[in-house]
């Protein structure tokens, strides 16, 4: 598991990493939402925004609770998974073999409500990663102004910031703090 619709959904609750205090819920931005849905081919482009956005927010909250627990290395119980399991369970599906370029490929086919199927696809992308991947690689950016969730791809799992911009900013802040502390009064 690395990137997926789950990670982009979590980080749609944007905070200004530079510390201005600005915050933006990108789910309210129709252009961002359209690009997100298109990029991940969730089949939700035609879903009514009045149902879609609140459902995505609720799923984002459930995913954030789980991601925060994994990032903090706190125990995750069956109860913590209830909301995600409920999302996954609302969509009946079956597996099917299809040919792609002459090669057989196993696909999951969902039936029923498209919105529920799209939400289940997002929830499933997170669950698959936790089950098949290494959930200790789920991290929260240590920049308290940012708090983005990221997947730590470093060999020794030591990454502390979501991107270099946060890492550089934090190093500059520490440097300036040390400089102020050592300056004569």
- Give the per-residue pLDDT at 108: 78
**1 has pLDDT over 60:** no
The tens digit of pLDDT for each residue in 10-46 reads: 999 998 777 787 889 999 999 999 999 999 988 898 8
What is the rounded CA–CA span in Å between residue 84 and residue 120? 8
**185 has pLDDT over 90:** no
Contact 24, 14 (CB under 8 A): yes
**77 has pLDDT over 70:** yes
Please state which of the ranges 29-43, 93-107, 157-171 shows the lowest mean pLDDT.
157-171
**78 has pLDDT over 60:** yes
Q: Which fold has domain 5-88+114-182?
A: Jann2411-like fold (1.10.3300)
What is the rounded CA–CA span in Å between residue 7 and residue 148? 9
Cross-strand partners of 98: 105
Nearest C-alpha neighbor of 55 from the set 75, 76, 83: 83
Contacts of 4 (CB under 8 A, 6+ apart): 40, 125, 126, 129
At 170, is the pLDDT very low, low, confident or very high (cuts 50, 70, 90)? Answer: low
- Give the per-residue pLDDT at 180: 78
* pTM summary value: 0.82
């Amino acid at each position: 598991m690395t990137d997926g619709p789950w990670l982009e959904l979590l980080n749609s609750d944007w905070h200004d990493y530079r510390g201005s205090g600005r915050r933006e819920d990108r789910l309210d931005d129709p252009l961002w939402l359209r690009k997100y849905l298109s990029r991940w081919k969730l089949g939700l482009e035609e879903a009514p925004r009045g149902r879609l956005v609140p459902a995505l927010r609720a799923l984002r909250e459930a995913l954030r609770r789980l991601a925060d627990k994994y990032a903090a290395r706190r125990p995750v119980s069956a109860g913590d998974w209830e909301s995600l399991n409920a999302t996954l369970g609302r969509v009946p599906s079956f597996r099917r073999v299809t040919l792609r370029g002459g090669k057989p490929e196993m696909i999951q086919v969902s039936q029923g409500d498209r919105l529920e199927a799209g939400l289940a696809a997002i929830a499933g992308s997170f669950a698959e990663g936790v089950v098949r991947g290494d959930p200790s690689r789920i991290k929260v950016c240590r920049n308290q102004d940012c708090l983005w969730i990221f997947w730590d791809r470093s060999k020794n799992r030591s990454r502390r910031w979501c991107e270099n911009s946060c890492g550089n900013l934090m190093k500059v802040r520490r440097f300036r703090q040390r400089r102020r502390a050592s300056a004569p009064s």
